[in-house]
């Protein structure tokens, strides 16, 4: 599970600003022991579910080896 500080970050995350999390932390936080190369589907899905708790979107970018949480802005 992510540290409590991450809950605070996502709660206060301004619209259109991202919080970037490297692959190794995604695995450690969301699906320990499932393997990191590539990041497991279990970790990605758990990160998405975690983000939704804070009204955040989540996307994993394998080429950058990081995931990004952000708050979606309708109709920019």
Question: Is 36 inside any structural domain?
Answer: yes
pLDDT digits (tens, 9 = 90+) for 7-54: 999 999 999 899 999 999 999 999 987 766 788 999 999 999 999 999
Please, what is the Cα angle at 51 between 42 and 61, to 5 degrees?
A: 60
The answer as to whether 75 is a domain residue is: no
Structure token digits, residue 39: 């990041």
- The total domain count for the chain is 1
12-33 in b/e form (b: 16+ CB < 10 A) is ebeeeeebebebebbbbbbbee
Residue-level pLDDT at 75? 62
pTM of the shown model: 0.89
**pLDDT at residue 76, as a whole number:** 58
- Residue 63 in domain: yes
Q: Domain of 17?
A: 4-70
Residue 54 covered by a domain: yes
């Amino acid at each position: 599970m992510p540290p409590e500080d991450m809950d605070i970050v996502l709660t206060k995350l301004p619209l259109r600003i991202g919080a970037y999390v490297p692959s190794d932390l995604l695995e450690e936080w969301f699906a320990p022991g499932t393997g990191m190369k590539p990041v497991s589907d279990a970790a990605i899905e758990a990160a998405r579910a975690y983000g939704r708790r804070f009204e955040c979107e989540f996307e994993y970018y394998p080429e950058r080896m990081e995931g990004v949480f952000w708050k979606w802005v309708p109709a920019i």
